[in-house]
Every structure is written in structure tokens, then in C-alpha cells.
Chain A
Amino acid sequence: MSIQPEQLKYCDSHEWVYAPADANGVATVGISAFAVAELNDLVFMALPSVGQKLAAGQEFGEVESVKAVSPMYSPVSGEVTEVNSGLVDRLDQLNADPYDQGWMMKIKMSDPSEIAKLMDYQAYQKMISQHG
């Protein structure tokens, strides 16, 4: 798997989702390089369990930096099929590569049309450039 940021859809809360047509409705979810840089100095991460059902916008985990705790929200509805559980012990990987090694969960979407409501790469770049 090699996920490029340009291929992804984004939430305004900085999660990305990768749902290519050939993935049988399974979406891969992570957080953007911008979010990782903003968080800075990560110390802890909690991810969901396989089998957990999530609604779009529902909290699926949290990342904690020295400064603060940030919840992460699922971009889509569905059931968690796989979790990158090794990531919680290698948070430096998230810094180095938030899009490929840094994926967090795979989710079998119950409503793939939700993807269309998310921002594309250009729209997300525009949002974060305004954010400062």
C-alpha cells in the first residue's frame, strides 16, 4: 500500500480517508501531516477495537501530545475491520509518515456515499492555509 495525500478525502477535524473503488467498500483512515505537526510531541494514542461499529463523526480514538488531548473522529460510518495496533508503540512513525505507515484503522463502510461529502486534497489544503 502506498497512500499519497493527493488521493485522499479529508474531514475538517483533520482525519483522512482512503477508499479506492477496488477496496470493496473498505476505507482506510488516518490523520493528516498538518494535524501531526500541530499536535507535536505525541506521547499516547488510543485506537478502536476490531468489530467496533462507528457512525460518521463519532470518536474512534485519541492522540495525546505534551500540550493536549485530541479526539479523532471517524470520517465514515461502518464497522472496524482492522487496526494498526503497532502504531501506538511507534508514534514516531506517525510523525515520519502519517499517510502510509501511519494509517490507523480500516472500516467496512455502511454508506459509501458519505465519502462524497468530504473535502478533496485541494479543498483541505485551502482550509489549512487559512487556519494559519
Chain B
Amino acid sequence: MNTPQSGTNLFTPLHAWHLQNGGKMAPFGGYEMPIQYSGIVAEHTATRTAMGVFDISHMGRLRFDGPRADQLLDHLLTRRVLDMQPGQVRYSLVCNEEGGILDDVLVSCLESPSGKIYFLLVVNASNKEKIVHWLQPHLADFPDVEFHDVTESTAMIAVQGPRAVQVCERLLPPAATKLGYYRAKVTEQMSKPCIVSRTGYTGEDGFELIVRSEDAVRVWENIFLAGREHGVLPVGLGARDTLRLEAGMPLYGHELSEQIDPYTAGLSFAVNLKDRSFVGSRALAGKSSGASGAGPSGVKRVGLKVEGRRAAREQSACYSTDGQAIGTVTSGTFSPTFNQPISMAYVNADAANVGHRIEVDIRGTRAPATVVELPFYKRS
């Protein structure tokens, strides 16, 4: 079912559905993924006003079993894992010994129906091979931890938007739809096993579901049936990007890389240094966050609202109003919600205060921009 039929791209279990339903496909993270169906703005707006349904099966899903799985992960992740209880989800980073970011991940502590406790790590598609390779020597140190890459045997579906709870109440047991934010549960969808978590990457309320590959199309179609009165749309990676950007969420390869440390990225909340030793902890202990909130590199991740209609996209240079180079845009788009171009950028700490006015180079023309609070969008 997941056999690639062209080039080297893998297919998700929903690939045929995307093709049959107007998905415009493109390679992403090793998979051929839907970039859009009806259009980025329509899909974005549906997610903000009703509900969007996303195939995110390209994300890597790594399972860790065994009584020392928590110790292994506590050694690998910047976020404390040892105190995690079944049902908890945490956002964490994976760093190298120098404190550079290898990936940003969600780690879940789950309890199977038979009472077995295990951990699930959801990693970026584009980083999965790197992370699995990097894991190997650490796994060798914990021979009693069972590791399985379950990406190919499962599918992952996000349902996001103000109608998500209402729609999911028709699909999932109450214990699943009543989950708190960043909580997860192993449950069932129409007697198919399903991991539900109250998480997302859009700035909206909603859930992410993990099901077996063979159940993916059934569950996906059930979601549209349950949501058909609510203007629910399938959403591609194009709108997933505009949604996460409005929500101020970093994306690996843009705001995050091995050259960026968690403090510079503004993600100090995801680093628990106290009484812990993990890969990169020694380097990170030396990179304390400055008073300005800037990282040790002297730059800070900011949001920009750009004047005019043209977006300042990745790699656009940032300048002070007197023409000094002060930073670089990492992501930019035209925001469907604000009807205005928005960007995220790394700029020098002294130019990073909210309200500060700068200029961005858009293919040779300087456009005025203002530093604004992140996230751009907060749901009411």
C-alpha cells in the first residue's frame, strides 16, 4: 500500500484519496503529499472558522517499549521525560552535543488497553532518517528498550478548528474528546485502534489521530461524514504552513536547524536543565538566556508584519531604517487571516522589541516592516 510508484517518494495510505479528490501533489519529506485541494486560502479559512482535516502521515512515528524507555528518552530529549504519566504529551527538542537543534518533537506517554506503558515520539518527516540513525548508539546503550519505527504501519490525521470537538464527539468515545490540551489516549474509532491527542500545528483547538494504515481511509472518510454539515475541508501542506506561521510556530529547516540553539529559537520552555543530564545539556547550560530574551548568538526570533502586498519570504534580508543589516527572514507568507504579509525572522536583539520598525528586502526592493508579538494569531 505504501510502495512508491514514481521516483523515490513514498505514499501515505491516503494517497489515492488525495488524487481522487483534487489534491495537488508534491514531494515533501520523502513522501508525495497534497499541497492543496480547493486552494490555500479556502482551506486556511475553513480551518479557522470550521474544521480542516490534514493527512500528516509523513511525520515520523517512533515507538519505545520497555521499563527503561523513559530513561532512554530522558537522556535524549531536552524536556524532562522521567516524570511523565500515561496520557501526557510534551513538546521537546532533540539537540546535538553542541546544543544545536537536531529536531523538534512531541513525546507521548501512553497506556495500551492491556495496561502496558510505552512512549511515542513524533518527529519531522524530513528529519526521521537522521534521528533514527542518531538513535542507534543510544539504543545500543539501552538493550532492554524495544524500538520500532511505526511510521509505515500507521497513518496520522489532524482535525483542527473550532468545530473539531463537536465533530469528533460523533466519532470518538467521550474520554477522547474530553482530553485536556497536550493529553493523549489510546482508544478506538468505530472499533479500530486509534491514538488520540489534543495537539496540533495550526493555532486552533483539535486532535491528532494515529490509526493503523489499513484503517486510515475508513477513519478519514468517517471524519468527513461526521463533519459534513460544518463546511469541513481537506487541507494540504500549503495551508498547514500558513496556519502554523500565523500561530507563530517554528518549522524545522526554517526557524530551527543544527546551527540554532533552543534559547535563540525562543524555546527555552522546552529545555529542562535542572538536575538532568541529556545529550547537549552541558553545552546548553553555558548558553543562558539574556535579559533581552536573545539567545547566546545575539539574535532573537521575531514576528514581522510587512507593509504592502508582497511577502518577505525565507532568506529575505532585514535592515534597520538606517540601512544596517540586522537579520534574515526564515518564513514568510501572505496571511489569509490578516490579509497582510507576515514573516518570522532572526534579528539582532536590539532590533527585536515589539513595535520596532525595520525594513525587509523583497527581491531588491525594501519594504517597511514592524516587529510584532508572536504568535500573530491566537484563537479567541
Q: How far is the CA of A64 from the CA of B332 in the complex (A)?
A: 12
Q: Which residues of A contact B311 (CB under 8 A)?
A: 43, 64, 69
Chain A residue nearest to B310 (CB atoms) is A44
Q: How far is the CA of A55 from the CA of B336 in the complex (A)?
A: 36
The bracket for how many chain A residues form the interface is: 10 to 19
A-B contact pairs, 19 of them (CB 8 A): A40-B39, A40-B40, A40-B41, A41-B334, A41-B336, A43-B309, A43-B311, A43-B334, A44-B309, A44-B334, A64-B310, A66-B44, A66-B242, A66-B334, A66-B336, A67-B36, A67-B40, A67-B333, A69-B363
Q: How far is the CB of A38 from chain B (nearest CB, A)?
A: 8
Q: How far is the CB of B253 from chain A (nearest CB, A)?
A: 16
B66 within 8 A of A: no
B61 within 8 A of A: no
B301 within 8 A of A: no
Q: Which residues of B contact A64 (CB under 8 A)?
A: 309-311, 334
Q: Which residues of A contact B336 (CB under 8 A)?
A: 41, 66
Chain B residue nearest to A46 (CB atoms) is B310
Tell me which of B36, B242, B310 contacts A40 (CB under 8 A): B36
B80 within 8 A of A: no
Q: How far is the CA of A40 from the CA of B42 in the complex (A)?
A: 10
Q: How far is the CB of B38 from chain A (nearest CB, A)?
A: 9
Chain B residue nearest to A38 (CB atoms) is B24
Q: How far is the CA of A44 from the CA of B308 in the complex (A)?
A: 9
Q: Which residues of A contact B309 (CB under 8 A)?
A: 43-44, 64
Q: How far is the CB of B139 from chain A (nearest CB, A)?
A: 39
Contact (Cβ within 8 A) A41 B40: yes
Q: How far is the CA of A64 from the CA of B334 in the complex (A)?
A: 9
The bracket for how many chain B residues form the interface is: 10 to 19
B300 within 8 A of A: no
Q: Which residues of B contact A40 (CB under 8 A)?
A: 36, 39-41
Tell me which of A41, A43, A44 contacts B39 (CB under 8 A): A41
**Interface hub of B41, B44, B242 (most chain A Cβ within 10 A):** B41
Q: Per-position contact with A for B13-36: 1 when CB-CB < 8 Å, else 0?
A: 000000000000000000000011
Q: Which 9 A-B pairs have the closest CB atoms?
A: A44-B309, A41-B41, A43-B334, A66-B40, A66-B334, A40-B39, A44-B310, A67-B238, A41-B40
Q: Per-position contact with A for B298-310: 1 when CB-CB < 8 Å, else 0?
A: 0000000000111
Q: Per-position contact with B for A29-42: 1 when CB-CB < 8 Å, else 0?
A: 00000000000110
List residues of A (41-59) whose CB comes within 8 Å of B's CBs: 41, 43-44
Q: How far is the CA of A66 from the CA of B333 in the complex (A)?
A: 6
Chain A residue nearest to B242 (CB atoms) is A66
Q: How far is the CA of A65 from the CA of B311 in the complex (A)?
A: 9
Given contacts A40-B40, A44-B334, A66-B41, 13 further A-B contacts (CB under 8 A): A40-B39, A40-B41, A41-B41, A41-B336, A44-B310, A64-B334, A66-B238, A66-B333, A66-B334, A66-B336, A67-B35, A67-B40, A67-B238
Chain A residue nearest to B336 (CB atoms) is A66
B313 within 8 A of A: yes
Q: Per-position contact with A for B303-339: 1 when CB-CB < 8 Å, else 0?
A: 0000011110100000000000000000001101000
Chain A residue nearest to B341 (CB atoms) is A43
Q: Which residues of A contact B36 (CB under 8 A)?
A: 40, 67
Q: How far is the CB of B353 from chain A (nearest CB, A)?
A: 29
